[in-house]
């Protein structure tokens, strides 16, 4: 717990009377902004008041909300501010006693049958960011119609109409109650993960918690199941070691070294709010999320006996499609963003949903990505199969054929980005020497190429970058695609 002395002070001491943002936009996963520039107390109150107005308008405010927060600077105080706004509107709140993973917020919403949840988090964004994520009653990301409605309500709100109640007064009136959902969440995970298999193999796992909310969740569950765990960065650092708290290859060097030093079977990581996952094999080599998702789909189909297909985003590997075809399962393709994928969990149409940006969920769970569950399922897979990730991939490629994938983040000026999007709208006849046989515009611009290769470029919904996704049946082909894409950008 690190609420400490902060919450004994009146929140307005930290709250500037600065300028209110007039154009607050929700991206693929909530509203995010730079601390003290966009993400300020006045703006946070305005967003929370908009959420309160939405809940009242829908007639569900009495069901209450869950309020959580991550380990970023002042997240706990912004969470207290959110609780004050909810209480000021007469909306009861369950307030987490410590920083809490995003999927656990979602679980608490569903378990308590609440109207929704407010989470103070900017997920994997750099340390200077924070954000507010609203989740509706299903525990997943708010769909676009909901966020559009909230945005509209925010635009129509004068600052003086924001209602607040001091936190201690709200507690005394029973409008704010502290809670810790860990035990109930662990009990739920035990219905999804085969803990007996985890405990039998003698698995050694290095876990990198990246200074975030996953501490005492991923590492503790594994230990309780009998896994030998070496945990890294399991403490709060709002600077996240000086880099983005993202479980990608460039930020997991410490985990790689520890795997090799300790001769671990596996490395698992989660981002700051534990909704994204990262995986390394026993050599300390990073495994692309796309490969892991394809392996998990094959594993879930073969071990769970569930009926249903798989949903993936348009920028996610077609290796998933090959696995689905091998098992005779349908594939549902969505825009990028878990709010589009989650509905296939809610409807029961999919046994698994995934996106290349380290997002995973499965049947009987939440319509929200869960890096903790993803890591546990990878550990179970390795323990049951008694094989390292590269061996498992070789087996999968033997069944469905190889595909290699990569994502590159391209930082462009707004002008260069506009020129790029204009150029992409008119596809060439060939790309990297391969014929362009299809052009998809579901989300960004995706060129389908001969020999099962493809590239996709789309602006990020949460960061000032353009995402460049590429896939090919050989590593050499992947390199040629990357060179062609980077050359195209340099010419802008």
136 and 203 co-located in one domain: no
Q: Which two tokens stand for residue 254?
A: 């410490």
144 and 197 co-located in one domain: no
154 and 13 co-located in one domain: yes
Which structural domain range is residue 483 located in? 404-490
- The predicted structure's pLDDT at residue 490: 82
User: Which three-class secondary structure state does DSSP give residue 265?
Assistant: coil
DSSP readout, 86-102?
Answer: HHHTT--EEEESS---H
392 and 410 co-located in one domain: no
245 and 342 co-located in one domain: yes
396 and 444 co-located in one domain: no
Tens-place pLDDT, residues 218-231:
999 999 999 999 99
122 and 196 co-located in one domain: no
366 and 415 co-located in one domain: no
Rg over alpha carbons for the chain, rounded to the nearest Å, is: 22
408 and 395 co-located in one domain: no
- The predicted structure's pLDDT at residue 193: 98
Cα separation, 138 vs 349, whole angstroms: 16
Single residue among 181, 215, 233 that ends a domain in this structure: 181
Cα separation, 418 vs 424, whole angstroms: 10
CATH of the domain at 9: 3.40.120.10
136 and 278 co-located in one domain: no
309 and 328 co-located in one domain: yes
Q: Give me the residues of the chain with pLDDT under 70, please.
A: 1-22, 461-464
Single residue among 400, 434, 464 that ends a domain in this structure: 400
- The predicted structure's pLDDT at residue 461: 61
- The predicted structure's pLDDT at residue 182: 98
Residue 145 burial (C-beta neighbours within 10 Å; 0-12, 13-18, 19+): exposed
Single residue among 400, 430, 445 that ends a domain in this structure: 400
244 and 347 co-located in one domain: yes
Q: Count of domains in the chain?
A: 3
């Amino acid at each position: 717990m690190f609420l400490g002395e902060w919450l004994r002070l009146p929140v307005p001491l930290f709250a500037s009377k600065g300028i209110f943002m007039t154009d607050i936009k929700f991206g693929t996963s909530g509203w995010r902004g730079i601390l003290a520039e966009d993400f300020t107390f006045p703006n946070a109150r305005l967003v929370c008041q908009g959420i309160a107005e939405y809940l009242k308008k829908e007639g569900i405010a009495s069901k209450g909300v869950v309020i959580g927060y991550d380990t970023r600077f002042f997240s706990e105080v912004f969470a207290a501010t959110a609780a004050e706004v909810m209480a000021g509107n007469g909306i009861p709140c369950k307030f987490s006693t410590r920083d809490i993973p995003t999927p656990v917020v979602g679980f608490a919403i569903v378990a308590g049958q609440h109207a929704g949840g407010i989470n103070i988090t900017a997920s994997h964004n750099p340390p200077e960011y924070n954000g507010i994520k609203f989740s509706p009653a299903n525990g997943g990301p708010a769909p676009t119609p909901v966020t559009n409605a909230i945005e509209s309500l925010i635009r129509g709100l004068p600052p003086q109409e924001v209602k607040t109640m001091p936190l201690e007064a709200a507690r005394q009136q029973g409008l704010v109650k502290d809670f810790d959902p860990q035990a109930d969440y662990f009990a739920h995970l035990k219905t999804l993960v085969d803990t007996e298999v985890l405990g039998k193999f003698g698995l050694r796992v290095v876990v990198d918690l990246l200074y975030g909310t996953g501490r005492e969740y991923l590492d503790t569950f594994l230990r309780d199941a009998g896994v030998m765990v070496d945990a890294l960065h399991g403490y709060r650092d709002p600077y996240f070691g000086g880099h983005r708290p993202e479980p990608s290859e460039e930020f997991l060097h410490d985990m790689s070294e520890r795997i090799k030093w300790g001769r671990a079977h596996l490395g698992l990581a989660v981002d700051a709010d534990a909704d994204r996952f990262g995986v390394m094999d026993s050599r300390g080599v990073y495994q692309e999320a796309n490969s892991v998702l394809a392996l998990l789909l094959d594993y879930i189909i073969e071990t769970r006996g569930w009926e249903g297909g798989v949903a993936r985003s348009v920028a996610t590997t077609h290796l998933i499609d090959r696995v689905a075809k091998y098992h005779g399962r349908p594939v549902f393709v969505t825009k990028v963003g878990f709010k589009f994928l989650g509905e296939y969990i809610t409807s029961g149409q999919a046994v698994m949903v995934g996106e290349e940006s380290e997002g995973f969920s499965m049947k009987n769970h939440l319509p929200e990505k869960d890096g903790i569950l993803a890591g546990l399922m990878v550990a179970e897979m390795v323990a049951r199969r008694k094989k390292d990730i590269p061996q498992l991939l070789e087996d999968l490629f033997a069944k469905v054929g190889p595909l290699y994938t990569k994502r590159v983040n391209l930082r462009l000026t707004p002008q260069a980005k506009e020129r790029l999007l204009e150029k992409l709208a008119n596809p060439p006849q060939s790309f990297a020497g391969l014929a362009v046989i299809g052009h998809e515009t579901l989300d960004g611009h995706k060129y389908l190429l001969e020999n099962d290769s493809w590239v996709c470029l789309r602006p990020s919904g949460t960061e000032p970058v353009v995402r460049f996704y590429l896939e090919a049946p050989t590593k050499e082909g992947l390199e040629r695609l990357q060179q062609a894409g980077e050359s195209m950008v340099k010419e802008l």
